[in-house]
């Protein structure tokens, strides 16, 4: 039975459709969705997840259009604008969500602030959401104080659990947090995401 389920999930992923388990569909909530380093090609996949789960909170930890390396190629501001516009428009059409955009090294504050209608733009910081404390930043950082979750992206730093803090890398997985229980679920990004990000086996300076 597990073999059949694995094949079904693989086929869904192949055609860019997320597998949402019954447990995820029946979460008490509120739900927080954490994503990071998102190339334009996977936006529809993310929108499908948001449409199904209807998270009350969405946290993006940077590089909103990760296929456009704006820090390196500053003249690509026009395609960056078009990509980020598509992402923000898609996420903010869900009026039930509160959105946080943590800017990464390939993001432009002026562009994001111009495009968002109701998102909160951050460089890094601490959020208190529904009795949960979270640190958010584009880069992984050691946390010397207790928070419930540490959310980050950018590099292949692993997820962790240490001193009652759960660290979640939004580059490795799409992270779903049930804030009522603090239970964490991971969804895979679609096939080809790292290629679209321009990533090889190791992310170096990107």
Note the pLDDT tens digit of each residue in 92-144. Answer: 998 889 999 999 999 999 999 999 999 999 999 999 999 999 999 999 998 88
pLDDT digits (tens, 9 = 90+) for 55-68: 999 999 999 999 99
Is 205 inside any structural domain?
A: no
**Inside any domain, residue 203:** no
Count the neighbouring beta carbons within 10 Å of the beta carbon of residue 189. 24
Q: Is residue 18 part of a domain?
A: yes
> 159 in a domain, yes or no?
yes
Residue 64 within any structural domain of the chain:
yes
Let me know if residue 188 belongs to a domain.
yes
In the numeric block, which tokens belong to residue 107? 């993001």
Strands, E, within the chain: which ranges?
31-35, 57-60, 98-102, 120-122, 124-129, 132-137, 149-152, 160-162, 165-169, 174-178, 183-187
| 206 part of a folded domain | no
Q: What is the pTM of this model?
A: 0.91
Find the DSSP H helices in the chain.
2-14, 22-25, 43-53, 77-92, 109-115, 193-197
The whole domain housing 98 covers: 2-197
Flag whether pLDDT at 19 surpasses 90.
Answer: no
Q: How confident is the model at residue 205 (pLDDT cuts 50, 70, 90)?
A: very low
CATH number of the CATH domain containing 89: 3.60.21.10
Residue-level pLDDT at 201: 42
Q: What are phi and psi of 33, to 5 degrees?
A: -105, 130
Q: How many CA atoms lie within 13 A of 111 on its CB side?
A: 23
Q: Is residue 202 part of a domain?
A: no
Q: In the numeric block, which tokens belong to residue 19?
A: 């597998």
Domain count, the chain: 1
């Amino acid at each position: 039975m597990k073999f059949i389920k694995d094949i079904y999930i693989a086929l869904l992923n192949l055609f860019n459709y997320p597998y949402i388990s019954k447990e995820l569909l029946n979460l008490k909530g509120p739900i927080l969705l954490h994503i990071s380093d998102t190339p334009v090609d996977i936006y529809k996949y993310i929108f499908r997840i948001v449409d199904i789960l209807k998270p009350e909170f969405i946290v993006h930890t940077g590089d909103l259009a990760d296929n456009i390396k704006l820090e390196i190629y500053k003249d690509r501001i026009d395609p960056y604008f078009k990509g980020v516009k598509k992402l923000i428009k898609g996420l903010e059409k869900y009026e039930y969500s509160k959105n946080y955009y943590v800017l990464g090294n390939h993001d432009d504050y002026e562009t994001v602030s111009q495009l968002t209608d109701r998102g909160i733009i951050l460089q890094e910081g601490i959020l208190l959401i529904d009795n949960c404390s979270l640190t958010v930043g584009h880069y992984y950082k050691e946390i010397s104080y207790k928070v419930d979750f540490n959310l980050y992206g950018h590099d292949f730093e692993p997820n962790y659990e240490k001193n009652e803090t759960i660290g979640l890398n939004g580059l490795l997985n799409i992270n779903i947090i049930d804030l009522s229980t603090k239970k964490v679920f991971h969804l895979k990004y679609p096939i080809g995401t790292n290629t679209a990000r321009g990533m090889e086996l190791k992310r170096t300076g990107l």
